[in-house]
Chain A
Amino acid sequence: MTGAAVWVTVGAGCAACLGLKLIGAYLPQSWLARESVARVMNLVTVALLAGLLAVQAAGQGQGLAIDSRLAAVGAAAIALWLRAPFIAVVIIAAAVAAALRALGLP
């Protein structure tokens, strides 16, 4: 992506996310407050985060690759299981991947 394209993407993303907040604040519509809408929106958040996790952990360009990232995500899951705070989870994952790569793994 060129520098200009990144700027356009960043600007459009900012406008979209801020716009959504403003719509919620200025145009309160009863159907938006419905429980079923809220539930599907919660699941959309879950689905996207899970999709992003999968692609970030195993994606490589247009395809898949198994490397140190998977072990790092496993370590992150254990840290979350042990109720480690968010920043510690991120650092643990980075440290595991960096250590494995220093040992010569992909």
Chain B
Amino acid sequence: MIPSPAPTGQSAAVRAARRQAVSVAVATGLYGISVGALAVAAGLNIWQTQLLSMVMFTGGSQFALVGVIGAGGLGGAAVASAALLGGRNLLYAVQLGPLLGLRGWRRLLGAHLTIDESTAVALAQPTARPDARRAGFWWAGAGVWVCWNALTLMGTLAGDAMGDPKAWGLDAAAAAAFLGLLWPRLAARRAQATAALAVGIALVTSPWLTPGLPVLASALAALAVGLWPGRAHSGADQEGSP
């Protein structure tokens, strides 16, 4: 084996991380169009929609907040749905803390950019290359933020010009967006059971509860399935791998 100088090897790994981060940023940014268009259809204005993409900056929670408002639900239910969905970012931030080793304003910025995509790109880099992992995190986080906000604005403007959202099928597009976010999480048997139970809870409680509350009630499916005895500790992860 020919020994290669360390800097070349490092920068090759970093370049690979950046390339991956940029392609993830572009692909993710594209569906910022749908969050923009759906928010306008749900009754948010352009500033409210853009504030969500700039500050909330976590797609699932944005779709949830907009969905509950659009369904005529209570503000509290909309915020609670968004917060419950955003809870996973807390776990990502805990996981990334030692890896990023940030202080001061960088720590604040790093926390803000902690989302599904930046975490996934960082953790997809080789464990032996912390520099590539950090590069993946920052390039994916910042790249998604820029693309996400630019395309949210485009979606808002397009949604504003479209008129009746139902004639364009935007209500169905919102449902498809949730399905698209859910799909990659359904590999494990427990996840499938949770999703099925959650759909059942939401449908059965819909005629009885104020809009927004059926979605919160569906979260109970996670507790029911998560606490169900069985191969809880190994099963989910093993079934999750392809």
A residues near B, CB below 8 A? Answer: 1, 3, 5-14, 16-18, 20-26, 28-29, 32-33, 35-59, 61-64, 68-69, 72-73, 76-77, 80, 85-87, 89-99, 101-102
Contact = CB atoms under 8 A, between A and B. Distances in A.
A5 B75 CA distance: 7
Main secondary structure of the interface of A (DSSP, over half): helix
A1 B43 contact: yes
A21 B111 contact: yes
B143 interface: no
A67 to B, nearest CB: 9
Contacts, number: 321
B16 interface: no
B107 interface: yes
Contacts of B33: 87
Instruction: Pick the 6 closest A-B CB pairs, nearest first.
Output: A51-B218, A24-B93, A97-B169, A93-B176, A97-B172, A72-B172
**B90, B92, B95, B185: most-surrounded residue (chain A CB, <10 A):** B90
B195 A46 contact: yes
B113 to A, nearest CB: 9
Nearest to A11: B51
A37 B91 CA distance: 9
A94 B71 CA distance: 18
Given A17-B89, A45-B185, A68 B69 contact: no
A17 B56 contact: yes
A1 B167 contact: no
Contacts of B222: 40, 43-44, 46-48
B142 to A, nearest CB: 15
21 contacts: A6-B48, A9-B79, A18-B56, A24-B91, A25-B94, A37-B91, A43-B190, A43-B226, A46-B191, A47-B198, A47-B219, A48-B84, A55-B67, A55-B202, A55-B214, A58-B206, A87-B33, A90-B31, A90-B177, A94-B176, A97-B172
A77 B168 CA distance: 19
Contact of A80 (B173, B180, B214): B180
A80 to B, nearest CB: 5
Contact of A53 (B96, B102, B190, B199): B199
A101 B179 contact: no
Given A13-B83, A54-B202, A68 B215 contact: no
A25 B107 contact: yes
B86 A17 contact: yes
B93 A51 contact: no
Given A13-B79, A49-B181, A64-B206, A54 B218 contact: yes
B218 A47 contact: yes
Contacts of A77: 179
B27 interface: yes
**A14, A36, A102: most-surrounded residue (chain B CB, <10 A):** A14
Interface in B227-242: 227, 232-233, 236
Interface string B43-62: 11100100110011110110
Given A20-B89, A86-B180, 11 more contacts: A10-B65, A40-B227, A43-B190, A43-B225, A45-B88, A52-B63, A53-B178, A64-B203, A73-B175, A89-B176, A101-B169
